[in-house]
């Protein structure tokens, strides 16, 4: 397996850009960097000149030129490493890095989260609950929507660019030491994981909330022994690496279940549940299952979200306002609550539930950027990072429940390694028309190739092709406005986290 930087293969370079477009000009300047990082930076610079930065939980570029320059240098160095889609399945390199760093990941307890969909939203909810109970948290999630610094959070907020740079510089000598000892250099994701664990130890945090990157057993995050292991719903994704059935995928993801841990299981396919329960028995782990030991008792749509009653490990928590849309987010909330209860020993060491008012306060403050996020009105533009059929089905259901759109136009830009047909089929019932496009990642499916599949799913008269995302957004808005300003037309941008991140940068004005 050879190691080439992302720009080492001409096929990985972004497609040619229109030199007259300032957004594309900035991306084109960054040909020596990972295309994903280049477009994220370009969008941030363009957005800032248009009138403001995104919300605080999705940081923009640093305003200080020197800090911005230093962050660019770190990003450039990270971009020379294997990307997140190029893997050598082992934890050998990350374990070696942890060893030379003094095993920082063992200086705090952790809640480890795997699954196919819902991991990041669940991690954010777990973090909010722990913060509400006055614990200092570190959260590590992936991928990022706009800025790589989003991936490492302390006390509910992304670490500053300055701290991100400092953490990288602190561990860089050790990273280079491990590089020289191993057959392959540490990957982009492995270095970031090492940075997160080091930053959490340095803070120090009371508890780490860690989302796996892919799978579980050989994921770089799996050098921790999570006191609580969380498995969100498992479905078919990354089948070329994890297996062709949900049972096979569950076997890989079960690797995060450690000796004597507590396992929180969301509702699972039967074969996946059997695998996960078998692993729990093998390591003497305690299991709590959604629908049996905990779950969603009731839910109703509310303005800006939903009102839910959750049954936890210690009792019921009524009238919890969750400012997120869709049944799946209610189930994520139930999983997150059970995970935090388990962390505090509810249902085992202590019989009483958590303080209900504190739980309500925590959930009311939850956000999840890029997950059914409204970024514009008149017409409404919604962003959702669904990138596989299961996620698309959940999003489609949530859109129908939470919004009353008379005409919904889809903007879809997907990665070439995904089940694109399945994703489009999930959205077909709710899209009046679809504008297919492509993001600037080297992983993006060609817009014409995507259009060919879309025509088979939607029919030729419902598909429009706009290779450039800004053009696709403009075309979709125009289609949504055809019925008039107050007719209820809307746009949903989806298909990839990168597509959503680029759209967010183009559309949000602070």
Best CA proximity match to 439, nearest among 460, 419, 458, 411: 411
User: Which of 253-262, 280-289, 364-373 is the least confident region?
Assistant: 364-373
Omega of the bond prior to 143 within 30 degrees of 0, cis? yes
Joined together, the tokens standing for residue 2 give 């050879």
Q: Answer yes or no: is pLDDT of 353 > 60.
A: yes
- Specify the pLDDT at position 33: 37
Q: Is the dihedral of CA 417, 418, 424, 430 positive or negative?
A: negative
- Specify the pLDDT at position 241: 66
**Longest Cα separation, the chain:** 65
| pLDDT per position as a tens digit, 211-258 | 998 878 889 999 999 999 999 999 876 655 666 789 899 999 999 999
Q: Distance (Å, rounded) from C-alpha 369 to C-alpha 441?
A: 20
- Cβ atoms of 392 and 430 within 8 Å: the answer is no
- Specify the pLDDT at position 54: 34
Question: b vs e for 175-210, b when ≥16 Cβ sit within 10 Å of the residue's Cβ?
Answer: beebbeeeebbbbbbbbbbbbbbbbbbbbebebbbb
- Cβ atoms of 324 and 371 within 8 Å: the answer is yes
The DSSP secondary-structure symbol of 440 reads S
Length of the chain, in residues: 510
| pLDDT per position as a tens digit, 159-189 | 999 999 999 999 999 999 999 999 889 999 9
Instruction: Please provide residue 228's backbone torsions phi and psi, each rounded to the nearest 5 degrees.
Output: -125, 130
- Helix then strand then coil, in percent of the chain rounded to 5, is 45, 15, 40
Q: Answer yes or no: is pLDDT of 272 > 60.
A: yes
Pinpoint the alpha helices (H) of 224-269. 239-242, 246-253
Q: Answer yes or no: is pLDDT of 21 > 50.
A: no
- Cβ atoms of 307 and 281 within 8 Å: the answer is no
- Specify the pLDDT at position 19: 33
Strand partners, 157: 154
């Amino acid at each position: 397996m050879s190691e080439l930087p992302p720009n080492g293969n001409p096929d990985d370079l972004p497609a040619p850009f229109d030199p007259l477009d300032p957004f594309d000009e900035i991306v084109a300047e960054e040909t020596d960097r990972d295309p994903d990082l280049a477009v994220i930076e370009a969008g941030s610079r363009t957005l800032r000149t248009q009138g403001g930065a995104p919300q605080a939980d999705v940081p923009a570029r640093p305003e200080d030129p020197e800090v911005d320059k230093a962050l660019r240098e770190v990003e450039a160095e990270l971009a020379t490493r294997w990307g997140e889609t190029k893997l050598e399945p082992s934890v050998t390199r990350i374990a070696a890095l942890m060893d030379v760093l003094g095993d920082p990941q063992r200086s705090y307890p952790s809640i480890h989260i795997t699954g196919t969909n819902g991991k990041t939203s669940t991690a954010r909810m777990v973090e909010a609950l722990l913060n509400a109970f006055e614990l200092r948290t570190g959260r590590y999630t992936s991928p990022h929507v706009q800025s790589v610094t989003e991936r490492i959070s302390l006390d509910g907020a992304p670490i500053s660019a300055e701290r991100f740079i400092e953490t990288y510089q602190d561990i860089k000598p050790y990273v280079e030491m491990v590089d020289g000892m191993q057959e392959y250099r540490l990957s982009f994701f492995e270095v970031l994981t090492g940075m997160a664990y080091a930053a959490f130890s340095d803070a120090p945090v009371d508890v780490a909330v860690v989302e796996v990157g892919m799978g579980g057993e050989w994921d770089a995050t799996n050098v921790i022994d999570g006191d609580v292991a969380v498995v969100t719903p498992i479905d078919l994704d990354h089948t070329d690496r994890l297996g062709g059935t949900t049972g096979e995928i569950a076997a890989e993801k079960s690797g995060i279940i450690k000796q004597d841990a507590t396992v929180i299981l969301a509702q699972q396919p039967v074969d996946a549940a059997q695998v996960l329960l078998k692993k729990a028995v093998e390591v003497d782990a305690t299991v709590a299952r959604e629908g049996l030991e905990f779950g969603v008792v009731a839910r109703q749509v509310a303005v800006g979200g939903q009102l839910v009653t959750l049954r936890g490990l210690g009792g019921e928590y009524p009238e919890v306002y969750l400012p997120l849309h869709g049944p799946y987010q209610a189930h994520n909330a139930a999983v997150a609550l059970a995970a935090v209860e388990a962390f505090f020993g509810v249902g085992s060491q202590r019989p009483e539930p958590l303080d209900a008012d504190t739980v309500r306060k925590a959930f009311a403050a939850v956000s999840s950027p890029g997950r059914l996020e409204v970024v514009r009105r008149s017409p409404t533009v919604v962003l959702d990072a669904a990138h596989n059929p299961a996620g698309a089905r959940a999003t489609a259901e949530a859109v129908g429940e939470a919004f009353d759109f008379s005409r919904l136009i889809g903007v879809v830009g997907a990665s070439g390694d995904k089940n694109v047909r399945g994703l489009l089929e999930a959205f077909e019932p709710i899209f009046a028309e679809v504008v297919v496009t492509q993001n600037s990642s080297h992983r993006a499916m060609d817009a014409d190739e995507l259009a060919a599949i879309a025509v088979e799913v939607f029919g030729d008269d419902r598909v429009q092709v706009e290779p450039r995302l800004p053009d696709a957004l403009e075309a979709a808005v125009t289609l949504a406005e055809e019925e008039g300003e107050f007719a209820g037309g809307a746009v949903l941008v989806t298909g990839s986290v990168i597509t959503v991140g680029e759209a967010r940068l183009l559309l949000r004005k602070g």
